[in-house]
Structure formats: C-alpha cells, structure tokens
Amino acid sequence: MRRVTAALLLSIIAVPLASWAQSGPSLELRVKNAGEATGPEGATYPSVVSPGAPRPDAVVSGSAVTITDFRDLVLSVNGAPAAATSVTLQNGGRSAGRAEALGLYMDKPLAATISAGAEHFTITGDNCSGALLGPPGETGSTCQVTVQPRASWFGPLSGTLRLGTGGYTMDVPLSGTARHFDLPNLTITAVAGTPTSLNVAGQTQGEWRVSAPATFRITNTSTEEATDMLVALLGGNNPGSFEFVSNACSGQSLGAGASCDITVRARADRNGSYAGTLLLANHNQPSVALAGTATGFLPVAWKTAAWGACENACGASSRSRSVWCERSDGVTVADSFCGAGKPETVEACTSYANCTYSWRSNDWGACANACGGSSQSRSVWCERSDGASVDGGNCGGGRPSDTQGCTSYSGCSYSWVAEGWGGCSASCGGGSQSRSVWCRRSDGASVDGSNCGWGGRPNDSQSCNTQNCCVGNMGQSCSRYWCQPTYAASCSDWIATPTTCEMYRGGWITSCSDGDKICCGFNDGHVQCDGSCQ
C-alpha cells in the first residue's frame, strides 16, 4: 500500500477545573484547519487539504469521537466528563454514573500516559503531568497534552490517552485510520568545495583535465524512509561536463534523519564555461546548480585547403575542400573544439574546359507543298556535352543540312479531263468519233484512272454522221438553193455561191448565211440541184 503524507494528530486535553465539578462536563473535539471528524450523532465534519488554507474551527461536542484524518487536530476536555461516556473517571474501581455527581477536588498532580496503543500513538507535548490545576478562569486552570500517531504506522489506529490524579483516572479513546504520512523530504547541501566554481586549468586541447571535487550531503529530514534514491548529473557539454567521484546515495535507502555523501567534479578538454545540475531524480527532487570555467588550453582555429576541381568537367557541378580544426601547435583536433562557424566544405562551380561539342538535328518536318515536289526543313544546332545549345562555331564544319527536297501526294486532288472530239469516220450513213479522256492530278500529272474513280469517267467515243447518204448526183454542183423553214421568215437574198451537196451538219437551219451547207433530204426547205438526192 502506497504511503502518503501523514500530518500530526494534536490531541489537547484541557482540564479547566481545580476539581471535577458536578455540573456535567463534556468531551469536545476541535478540528483546526484540516482533518475530518465524526460526532456521536453520525455527522461528518470536513477538513481542508492543507493547513496553509485555514478556515474557522469546527467544534463537535459529544461523548464519543472517531478520528479519521490526522492533520492539526486538537482534542479538549473541559470540566468533568458526564457519566456513561467513552471518557470515564475511575475511583477505586467505581464508575461515575450520569445521575451521580462527583465532588472530587484535585489534590494530587496530574499524569498523562498512553495506556493502550503505544505502538500507534506517542505523547509529543505534555504540560499536564505534575501539574495541579487551579479554579476555572484563573491562571493555571488548564493544561495541554499533545498526542501524535507514529509515522511508521499505516492503517487502523486505536489507543487510549490516560489522565490520572491520585487514585482517579480519565481515559480518552484514540481511534481512526492513518491515511496521510510524511513524504520523504530530502535536502542536498554542499559540505566541501564550491559547486559553482568547479574550474579546470588546462594545457593541451583535447586532453581532459579535471577540477577539484565538491562533496554534497543528502539528508532525509522527514519521518519517512526514502527508498531507491536516484541521483543524476544533468547538463554540462563541451567544453566541460561533470562526473561522480563517489556516489554513496544512488540505489540506497535513507531512514528518517539519515544522510549520505556524493562527490562530484568537472572535466574539460578546451577553454570555455559550462553548467549543469546535481539532481535527486525521485522523491521531492532537490537539486544543486553546478558551474565552472576551463582556462589555459591551447587556442584552436578552423583551417581550410584549396578548392578541388569541379566534379563534373563540363557545366554546373560542385567542388569540395578539406576543413579541419587545428590547435595552435599544428595538431588537428575534433571539430567540436572549434565549435560553430565551420567553413563550407562544398560549393557550386561551373567549368566548360573539358566540354565536347556536336551537331544535333530534329526529324524532318512535313513537305511545304502537300501535292507534288516541294521542300522540307528541320532544326540543326550545336550542342555542348552538358546538353546546352551553343553557338555553331563551337562545333565547326560538317553542319547537317536543314532543308531538302521532298515529294508528297497526300494532299493531291484528282479529276477527269476530256479533250475535243476527233473527226467522224464517215460523212454519212453513221460513223464514229473519239477523244482523249484522262485522270488529272492537281499538280497536272496524268495518273491512273483509279485515282479519279471510274464511275464518273466521260465517254471517249460516240456516233456521228448518221444521216442517209446522197445517191446519183453526189458531189454535183447545185445551180441554186434557198432556205425556207416553215416556221421562220423566208430569206430575201439568193446565195449565188454554189456548193456541193454535203451531209447535214446537224440542227435546224434558221437563217441563210455563208458557210451553211446544202444537205440532201433537208426537211421543210427546198433544195434544187442538177441531180437528184435521195
């Protein structure tokens, strides 16, 4: 079971009469600032947590009191006790009854003892034993006995405080439960050396030197045992730290009032100040500040070598150098001795001294003319080995061409072309005539007809001169002729120019004009020839 702080039970027995009066005295429990009491009627009187937070006294009067929490409690007995209470007077074995008043006068000195439960309670203050109390209200009419539970006890408490005078005794029952014990209270004090002047006088950086030691004493000032103590040194870093020379406390237990010693010193390997703490890490955690200064060590400084070459010989890259901490005697020591401000060991750099250059080109673009012969182009550039595009002078000769001829028919269109009809194979009686028909690409070239589609191809031949041929006088000269279509006005002039009888060229003759040919079998006209036409 975990122990907690135990406060004092202060039981004060005050007897205000020079004799035990017959007026019916009572037992009184006065709760001061803290604690909890239960009166005979069952009422509970609360306490406060800390004696440092006072409140007015709560007074409980009755014939029996049970104490359940011991924090600054005062018991007072005023006057003679009533009969049949837990506090009784005994006279020769006779118990005083409620109806029987006692006419007793104090003529023997008082004596206060723990008559029962001495393992639970002890008297810590007593100005009653040996006293003869005077009359009420006068000087010397009261006295006080202080009772405290033993700190080593945890659990139910029971006992009896006995006040006696002559052959008479008065017993005050003490009972309750101990719940609050005194937590271990430990202190740390310096008994030798100066904790804040643990100074080190050095010689060579990097070689540890130690200070004169300081001794500390840890003391348990409480009534409780302090177990499994844990002592630690905190803080302290370069240039100095702290270490135990001896430690008789960690892992040990200290009884009430006991103590143990610890010796500590500083150690340093360079100039500078340092600080730390000696701490008892458990219980009430007392601590002591530690500090010191290291002097006399050789000075140190950062040293740097020249920058190396760029790691990448062409373009942006980085380069490095050596940086070290050097003592004034030329010895290299750990970087930690020089502290902050270490120069950079790597930096950015750019070099083109070892670059190579070569011509690069993209793929050819599309032909400028989408149908037929044309040209196409591409990008050509000089590239450095780091991938940058630079002036072509770096690459020298051998530059690839950025243009070339090309042919593409992907954008061509196609159409049928029909030329004029040729001559008729016969002058009459039906002949045929032909013409050239071909598929033309939009660049003017003649191509296979499949490109134009056979469905829309024009005819390349047709019939001609299908009229009947003249018989007998074919080729004879006509003496005269005229045109007289039935639906048009008649010609007013005779055409004197004779012509030969030829085939009809087609269409109706609507007027007489030079060039019209005389045709045999002309309908609605009259042709008179020397010969006859059929």
Residues 406-449 pLDDT 10s:
888 888 888 999 999 988 988 877 889 999 999 998 888 888 88
Say what the pLDDT of residue 39 is.
Answer: 42
Percent of the chain whose pLDDT exceeds 90: 14
CA distance 9 to 6: 9
pLDDT number for residue 140: 67
Cα–Cα dist 423/443, whole Å: 30
DSSP class per residue in 78-106: ESSPPTTSSSEEEETTEEPPTT----EE-
Are 119 and 61 members of one domain? yes
pLDDT of residue 107: 65
Does 164 or 511 have the greater pLDDT score? 164
Of 141, 162, 178, the residue at which a domain comes to its end is: 178
**Percent of the chain beyond pLDDT 70?**
60
Lowest-pLDDT range of 127-141, 349-363, 484-498: 484-498
pLDDT of residue 164: 75
Instruction: Decide if pLDDT at 155 tops 80.
Output: no
pLDDT at 259: 92
Are 78 and 193 found together in one domain?
A: no
DSSP per residue, 317-351: EEEE--EEEEETTS-EE-GGGT-S-PPPSEEEEEE
- Show Cβ contacts of residue 506 under 8 Å, excluding neighbours closer than 6 positions: none
Question: Which of the residue ranges 91-100, 113-122, 129-138 would you say has the lowest mean pLDDT?
Answer: 91-100
**Residue 532: per-residue pLDDT:** 34
Task: Please give the structure tokens belonging to residue 236.
Answer: 């302290």
Residues 123 and 11: their CA atoms lie apart, in Å, by: 9
pLDDT at 490: 33
Q: What one-letter code names the amino acid at 363?
A: D
- Residue 199's CATH number: 2.60.40.2310
Least confident of 70-84, 153-167, 258-272, 290-304: 70-84
**Which of the residue ranges 22-36, 97-111, 370-384 has the most confident prediction, judged by mean pLDDT?**
370-384
Identify whether residues 75 and 48 lie together within a single domain: yes
Q: Is the pLDDT of residue 358 over 70?
A: yes
pLDDT tens string 216-275:
999 998 877 788 888 998 876 656 688 899 999 998 888 888 899 999 998 887 788 888
pTM listed for this prediction = 0.33
Residue 379 pLDDT > 50: yes
Is there a single domain that holds both residue 439 and residue 396? no
Query: Which whole-number Å values give the CA distances from 453 to 40, 416, 418, 450, 458, in the listed order?
Result: 128, 9, 15, 5, 11
Q: Is position 427 within any domain?
A: yes
**Greater confidence, 32 or 296?**
296
Which among 324, 346, 350 has a CA at the least distance from the CA of 337?
Answer: 324
User: Which pair of tokens denotes residue 352?
Assistant: 């083109």
Q: Is residue 51 domain-resident?
A: yes
Same-domain status, 215 and 136 = no
Asked if the structure places residue 285 within a domain, the reply is yes
Question: Are 490 and 459 part of one and the same domain?
Answer: no
Domain with 311 in it: 300-351
Residue identified by tokens 């001294």 is 353
| Cα separation, 489 vs 177, whole angstroms | 158
Mean local confidence (pLDDT), 2-10: 28
SS3 state at 30: strand
User: Is 2 within a domain?
Assistant: no
Tell me which of 229-233, 462-466, 506-510 is least confident.
Answer: 506-510
Task: Give the pLDDT of residue 151.
Answer: 53
Is 10 within the bounds of a domain?
no
Q: Are residues 277 and 317 in the same domain?
A: no
pLDDT confidence bin for 338, thresholds 50/70/90: confident
Contact 367, 407 (CB under 8 A): yes
Instruction: Provide the domain count of the chain.
Output: 6
* pLDDT surpasses 70 at 85: no
Residue 8 confidence (pLDDT): 27
The mean pLDDT of 276-289, rounded to a whole number, is 88
Task: Examine the fold and report which residue of 351, 369, 388 is the final residue of a domain before the chain moves on.
Answer: 351
Least confident of 67-76, 145-154, 298-307: 67-76
- Cα–Cα nearest to 184, from 124, 227, 139: 227
- Same domain as 473, residue 457: no
Last residue of a domain, one of 277, 295, 313: 295
Looking at the predicted structure, is the pLDDT value of residue 347 above 60? yes
Can you tell me the distance from the alpha carbon of 212 to that of 263, in angstroms, rounded to the nearest whole number? 10
pLDDT of amino acid 496: 35
350 or 202, greater pLDDT: 350
Which tops the pLDDT comparison, 451 or 503?
Answer: 451
Mean pLDDT lowest for which of 32-46, 176-190, 242-256, 301-315? Answer: 32-46
- Residue 7 domain flag: no
Answer for the pair 77, 172: CB distance below 8 angstroms, yes or no.
Answer: yes
User: 141 and 53 in one domain?
Assistant: yes
Claim to verify: residue 322 and residue 458 sit in the same structural domain: no
**DSSP H helices in 367-489:** none
In a domain, 6, yes or no: no
25 pLDDT above the threshold of 70: no
- The pLDDT of residue 128: 78
The pLDDT confidence band at residue 513, using thresholds 50, 70 and 90, is very low
Residue 222 belongs to some domain of the structure: yes
Lowest-pLDDT range of 43-47, 133-137, 319-323:
43-47
Residue that wins the pLDDT comparison between 292 and 66:
292
pLDDT given for residue 44 in this prediction: 47
> Is a pLDDT exceeding 80 seen at residue 354?
yes
Residues 25, 158: one domain?
yes
In this structure, the answer to whether residues 171 and 60 fall within a common structural domain is yes
208-226 burial: b if 16+ Cβ within 10 Å, else e: ebebebbbbebbbebbbeb
- β-pairing, 145-149 vs 186-192, is unpaired
Task: Quote the mean pLDDT of the chain.
Answer: 68
- The pLDDT value given to residue 469: 60
